[in-house]
A and B are shown apart, each in its own frame.
Chain A
Amino acid sequence: MRWGVIVFPGCCDEQDVYDCLKHNLGQRVEFLWHKDRLNGGFDCIVLPGGFSYGDYLRCGAMARFSPIMQGVVEFARLGGLVLGICNGFQILCEAGLLPGALVRNASLQFICRQVFLRVEESDTPFTCAAKKGQLLRLPIKHGEGCYYADPGTLERLHKNRQVLVRYVDGKGRTSPSANPNGSLDHIAGVCNDGRNVFGLMPHPEDAGEKILGSEDGLKIFSSVIAACDKREKRAWLG
């Protein structure tokens, strides 16, 4: 399969995503410049973390107007897989590809630490390699990762099972102290109702090797690989 990693001005984690996919998982990966149009042939587009346009306006608010984003919106509409990590998640929310918004952490401070995530749904292309209820240990590093959605949206998220990962403690329980940023309902990541666009605040690409403390991030990427294999097989079998 073929991955595209978008480089916005101010991106910081594009190289981490690239290295993780290429060196840890042996994938075909290309960087995509934000000023270019999105070409066809990609199976999954990643919007990596960082501070696009310095986050000087509102996180992700400028990047959604980058020329490449039109192509990403179209790609998603046709069922293409789109993964937004941290600032990428914020951009996807700003672009209307994902519901809700990410606001200032409850502590009003930037937070960098390891967290535990509980996989809430395993029937999506982003979580199918994990088991429902499985815990993943991933790092977070953000100042504005507090997930917010209005009551109607939240109800729809629950009804459609769009909350894919929640912040929990080491034993898999939600609690205020295990919720690092004050996210509504402990939400760490959500997908769209088509289940082909996923955004999360934690960084799977920085948890892809034992020597870095955790390999749990690979679960997210290998889910996508498994899902694309399945798609291809299905397409080939007709």
Chain B
Amino acid sequence: MARLGAKPYDQPSINAEIIASHGLSEDEYKRIVEILGREPNYTELGVFSVMWSEHCSYKSSKVHLKLLPTDGPAVLQGPGENAGIVDIGNGQVAVFKMESHNHPSFIEPYQGAATGVGGILRDIFTMGARPIASLNSLRFGSFDHPRTPYLLSGVVSGIGGYGNCVGVPTVGGELFFDESYNANILVNAFTLGIAEKRRIFKGTAKGAGNSLIYVGAKTGRDGIHGATMASEAFSEESEKRRPTVQVGDPFTEKLLLEACLELMKGHCLVGIQDMGAAGLTSSAAEMAARGGSGVELDLSRVPLRERRMTPYEILLSESQERMLLVAKKGKENEVKRIFEKWDLDAVVVGKVTRDRLFRAFFDGAEVVRIPVVALSSDAPVYSRPAERPQGQDELQRLDLEKIEVPKDLGATLKLLLESPNVASKEWVFRQYDHFVRSNTVVAPGADAAVIRIKGTDKALALTVDGNGRYCYLDPYVGGILAVAEAARNLACVGARPLGLTDCLNFGSPERPDVMWQFSQVLQGMRDACITLGVPVVSGNVSFYNETDGVPIYPTPTVGMVGLLQKVERHATPWFKSSGDLVVLLGRNREELGGSEYLKVVHGIVKGTPPWIDLRLERAVQQCCIKAIEKGIIRSAHDMSEGGLGVTLAECCISGPEKPLGVRVELREMMRGDARLFGESQSRIIVTLREKELNRFRQIAVKEGAPMQVIGEVGGGHLAVHPLVRVPVDELRAVWLGGLERRLRGQGKEL
């Protein structure tokens, strides 16, 4: 074996500038020297820089993430693996996770979003699950920002281009516009797969002498330092980072998916992991860490797409559509045979060792020798200072008396329905295949998507949710509301939550105000998770979402998965027939803080987000779920952005058939705009036949959920006496084409 540090190629010598350009602090570098007992070489410095990056090490978030409850009756795998796993009965499990791909998507929207989808798909099938549904949660800047239409159309076609080609339906998602994201959009991608409980695979390297096998696409220079890029704030320089964005190849991904699932039917696999952020380095190091072993890589054997790549580049490349397998010794040819069938590379690139070292060789010389623990559990952990910003009190001050109630509330309703955050997202969804795999029972556009599980009577419900504006005004309450609304969305289709995954999108953790937001949001999420009984099974943290010093709204997005025992017993948001009673579950309160109405109509982002009582929330959700399970409910729709007015309108106009009108009368006395557009929580609009009212009331009383009959479905108008009366056809027209008209209005070809 050659001497450590032998130089088969030129390695720059290390100086302060190189250390800084790797995103490592002076203290961190000192620690590296301490761990190694010597100076690292250039390649080792690269390995440390990606493994200790915020993106890979969670060094600033770890202490806070411990707050979240991760255990529950259905949980088989919590955070720490490629994805979380929950039991869904019948010997089957659901595997799901959500990941951010914010920075690459801002620099190159099509490829950034496409590779975001590719990455999350691999996280799911690497565990032995066939992906059956994807969602996405997107945030863009103001619609009037010149870059927004370009970013929006690029991201949407990137998500569609990748997901459609791989044959995984995109069944839902959310889309929100706000100036806060002008120069730092959010692209969070969620995928769920189904696996057999007895055939789950994990990212672990065990058994000294077992082979490390590289499968999938060849390695190029793309994406080097992607993980580091995701771990620093944006600046005008970011445009120059375009070459670090990887290019997706969904066809190869599809082959990789089929080949991996075929391999997993046999018995040669010990462990498997996607080469995602930090590529070969992180997959090999993380698998060794989980297996309590070491790994030895021969970089000269890695299939390359470009000539003369250095060990540094090979280790740090983030080329897409690659996986690292640990196969039982002697089974290598079986693995190769399957990958050859699918025309993919499968090359033995190393082996599992006992020495707990991460070692890499190139042309026979050892180029990396680092203890595995130094790259995993011994990576730095920071408890960063957190402080409530001074302006927070002022932000929460809202004097409603100074805000005039619009004279024509019907016109206000139309204005809201046409605004980008409320208007129909059909323009987006129709670019995603949501039928493939023939499981889609409730397609995009409802509170949650419903996917039946083939071969059973069951179905899964999926949703993503998060309101950055609420979190900005009060991060603790915002954290609660993100979880509560996701659970409420599931309740509206009749599903009981099994678990959630999250993307926590925040500014720089080096700012005390951002760390305060982060810890508050997590405390809120924890409280909601505990009261509503929803464990967190996976997730990711994305810091440094800011541009030239201004952080985005703190934006946790929550992806939640629920189970329906009987697929036929589900609900959809739109009204079904004239004569049905309209019932309000929950209570109206006079609350306008942080509302979409204040922003769109008055240009104000102030006040406190709506108040929430988690026990009331649970009662409302339980009542809705039970009534749907008993077949009492004909439609159910959660009240969120735009309040009662927008919710009722959506019930009238969002169905596949002709719109239906509604006549409603409200008892509460409060200002008209608060009554119509206030966003009080824990409210669901349900409809039922009159003869079912008593049965429904019994359930509501038993659960302790307040309810009142507020009107009746029918007629051609949305009428809330005495505030508004608008023909539903007019509402449908503004709502349906709202997004597309705005895009066209900007003269962009879309």
Chain A residues with a Cβ under 8 A of chain B: 9-13, 15-16, 19-20, 49-51, 53-56, 109-114, 139, 141, 143, 203, 205-206, 208-209, 211-212
Contact = CB atoms under 8 A, between A and B. Distances in A.
Contact of B438 (A10, A53, A206): A206
Nearest to A209: B438
B257 to A, nearest CB: 11
A10 B167 CA distance: 8
A212 B450 CA distance: 10
Given A10-B251, A10-B254, A55-B165, A110 B431 contact: yes
Given A51-B164, A141-B164, A206 B435 contact: yes
Interface in B694-735: none
B431 A111 contact: yes
B359 interface: no
A141 B167 CA distance: 11
B29 interface: no
Contacts of B165: 10, 12, 51, 54-55
A49 B452 CA distance: 21
7 contacts: A19-B454, A51-B167, A109-B430, A110-B430, A110-B431, A112-B430, A112-B431
Contacts of A54: 165, 249-252, 254
Contact of A141 (B254, B435, B441): B435
Contacts of B452: 211
Contacts of B750: 109
Interface size class of B (residues with CB under 8 A): 20 to 34
Nearest to B437: A16
B590 interface: no
A15 B160 CA distance: 20
Interface in B241-260: 249-252, 254-255
Chief secondary structure at chain B's binding surface: loop
B255 A9 contact: yes
Chief secondary structure at chain A's binding surface: mixed
Contacts of A13: 167, 436
B177 interface: no
Contact of B342 (A9, A15, A212): A9
A141 B168 CA distance: 12
Given A12-B167, A112-B433, A53 B157 contact: no
Nearest to A54: B251
A56 B249 CA distance: 10
Nearest to B434: A112
B436 A110 contact: no
Nearest to B443: A213
A110 B160 contact: yes
B331 to A, nearest CB: 23
B436 A211 contact: no
Nearest to A50: B167
B435 A109 contact: no
B247 to A, nearest CB: 13
Nearest to A205: B438
A76 to B, nearest CB: 26
Nearest to A49: B436
Contacts of A139: 435
A211 B441 contact: yes
Nearest to A11: B167
Contacts of A113: 430
Contacts of A11: 167
Contact of A56 (B166, B251, B431): B251
Interface in B410-464: 429-441, 452, 454
A112 B432 contact: yes
A20 B438 contact: yes
A91 to B, nearest CB: 15
Given A54-B250, A111-B430, A212 B438 contact: yes
Counting from the closest, the 6 A-B pairs by CB-CB distance are A54-B251, A12-B167, A141-B433, A16-B438, A206-B435, A51-B165
A12 B750 CA distance: 27
B567 A211 contact: yes
A12 B454 contact: no
A111 B434 CA distance: 10
Interface centre among A10, A16, A20 (most CB of B within 10 A): A10
B510 interface: no
Nearest to B452: A211
Given A53-B251, A109-B157, A12 B166 contact: yes
A13 B325 CA distance: 28
B343 interface: yes
Contacts of A56: 251
B39 interface: no
B363 interface: no
A190 to B, nearest CB: 22
